[in-house]
Chains A and B, each alone.
Chain A
Amino acid sequence: MTALDPATTTSGLSQLYRDLRSDLLRFLVARLGDPGEAEEVVQDLYLRIHALAEGPVANGRAYLYRAAQNLAFDKVRERRRRLTREGQWVGLHHPSSPGTEPIDRRADAETMMVDREEATALFAAIATLPPGAGRVFRLHKLDGVPHADIAHQLGISRSGVEKHLAVAMAHLRRAMIDR
């Protein structure tokens, strides 16, 4: 964070939301590829701003885009979960019945096993990161050190930190598909 914009109060945020609503909607359509879901998210965003009562935020526009982005990601996860679940039902030759919640009936043990396998695969993939990207990735993603502090510690620019992180994420993604 560089200079702080004057804090935007929630009423200011609601005004900003009204000003940016069509921009946010257009962004969400691009992000989700589904106008219906985009409309749901933009509505949800409005409700959330109102639930905030009186909390001012720094940089209202970035805040609204980030919040929209977070809510959109929830939709993406929901979709993927649905796909996995349906896939698993088919794979197990169980009839898929809408309205029931199969995930609850799936043994916890199985979920834990899949979880552990995933962690092991990630562990192995992280070990193969190029040294520079690996170092920045560990500092940021595992130890929670902010980009700016990493830049300072390693004597590189912030965009250098971002480049290392992007290389690491792309590398890990490839490693996780190839396993």
Chain B
Amino acid sequence: MSDDVILETAASWHVRQGADDMDWLAFEAWLEADPRHRGAFDDVAMLDFDIDHHRDRLRQVQSSIAPVDRAQRWWRPLLLASGAVAAVGVVTVVARQPDSSEPRATGIASSYQATATSRDVRVAGAGITLAPGSGIKVHDDDAPRIALTGRAVFAVRHDPARTLTVRAAGYAIRDVGTRFEVVAGAGTIRVRVAEGELAIHAVAADHGEVRVRAGQMATGLADGTITMAASTTAALDGWRNGPLVYDAMPLGLVIADVARATGRPVRADSAVAQRPFSGVLAQGDSAAMIDTLATLAGLEARRRGETIYLGDRVRR
């Protein structure tokens, strides 16, 4: 085998290793076949490590996604709404900047918070199950608006006269009569639809509305891009009594979820926040949850003050 062929084969093995159907025995046989194979694989693995190490720097100039100015993205909904601010209530603020002063809102506003256990709420014509540590603010009138922080399952009956909007992490979800789950955190959102159909768009970006139908899930990243995939997990609120199941969920969102479930301050390093994670975490002891997540995702947990940061293993 020429060195080029060895390098290409090493790279193929490397990119496949995250897949559940990776053939580890065939990989082992390939490593054993020639000592040069191991060296080539090490080279590719080191290169991959270096790319991750420089990811933020490279991303600034190489990203395939047109970046949206954070500040602009933040303020634009407020500016556009201008006169209507008071009436509309612009609840986006809640998810993105919890410490900001809230715009004054008219209509009936109420908030609900789930603490250590999940909580069922019936409000604005919708049945809502809040995951531990999650909360909603509700403006209930002809066009009810719900601002979500955290994770919740919604069951909404279709009513053409009253369209419900859910806002979280800079995204707006317009309901068309459906059962769906929203997980929001760290500027990122994951929406899974079990029944019916809904529409989602980034509040500040001009990417347009995306329709999500039963059996689909949409992931919205902090820059306003939305990707779609088939939803492979069945129950929407399986986390109620069981483990948290993640299917290619951005790590920032997974970590925000763990922080809520455990009540511990856990955060994702920005370099890993958008990296997808698939796996299952048992709910329970916070140290065990964080450790399991770190091991499964190949990350390292570091403590700074009270906060635990999960990031790539430090290069020394």
One of B35, B41, B50 near A118 (C-beta < 8 A): B50
Cβ-defined contact, A80 with B46, below 8 A:
yes
Cβ-defined contact, A122 with B44, below 8 A:
no
Contacting residues, chain A, for B42 (C-beta < 8 A): 76, 80
Contact A173/B24 with A57-B279, A119-B54 known, Cβ cut-off 8 Å:
no
One of B4, B17, B45 near A66 (C-beta < 8 A): B17
Contacting residues, chain B, for A149 (C-beta < 8 A): 219, 227-229, 248, 276
Q: How far is the CA of A163 from the CA of B17 in the complex (A)?
A: 13
One of B8, B50, B232, B280 near A57 (C-beta < 8 A): B280
Q: Would you give the shortest CB distance from A25 to chain B, in whole angstroms? A: 11
Cβ-defined contact, B47 with A33, below 8 A:
no
Contacting residues, chain A, for B46 (C-beta < 8 A): 76-77, 80
Contact A142/B62 with A76-B42, A169-B11, A169-B15 known, Cβ cut-off 8 Å:
yes
Contacting residues, chain B, for A127 (C-beta < 8 A): 62
Contact A153/B288 with A57-B296, A59-B20 known, Cβ cut-off 8 Å:
no
Report whether over half of chain A's contact residues are helix, strand or loop; otherwise say mixed. Answer: helix
Q: How far is the CA of A31 from the CA of B30 in the complex (A)?
A: 10
Does A92 lie at the interface of the complex (its beta carbon under 8 Å from any beta carbon of B)? no
Q: Which of A62-86 contact B (CB under 8 A)?
A: 62-63, 65-67, 69-70, 73-74, 76-77, 80-81
Q: Which of B42-58 contact A (CB under 8 A)?
A: 42-52, 54-55, 57-58
Cβ-defined contact, B47 with A169, below 8 A:
yes
- Interface residue total, chain B, C-beta cutoff 8 A: 77
Cβ-defined contact, B61 with A166, below 8 A:
no
Contact A55/B20 with A73-B45, A80-B46, A169-B14 known, Cβ cut-off 8 Å:
no
One of B12, B44, B280 near A173 (C-beta < 8 A): B44
Contacting residues, chain A, for B51 (C-beta < 8 A): 122, 141, 172
Cβ-defined contact, B58 with A152, below 8 A:
no
Cβ-defined contact, A48 with B28, below 8 A:
no
Closest B residue to A104 by CB, please name it.
Answer: B316
| Per-residue A-contact encoding for B8-49, CB less than 8 Å = 1, 0 else | 101110111111101010011001100100100111111111
Q: Which residues of A contact B (CB under 8 A)?
A: 1-4, 7, 9, 26-27, 30-33, 48, 51-59, 62-63, 65-67, 69-70, 73-74, 76-77, 80-81, 103, 115, 118-119, 122-123, 126-127, 135, 138-139, 141-149, 152-153, 158, 162-163, 165-167, 169-170, 172-174, 176
Q: Which residues of B contact A (CB under 8 A)?
A: 4, 7-8, 10-12, 14-20, 22, 24, 27-28, 31-32, 35, 38, 41-52, 54-55, 57-59, 61-65, 219, 221, 227-229, 232-233, 243, 245, 247-248, 250, 273-276, 278-282, 284-285, 287-289, 291-292, 295-296, 298, 313, 315-316
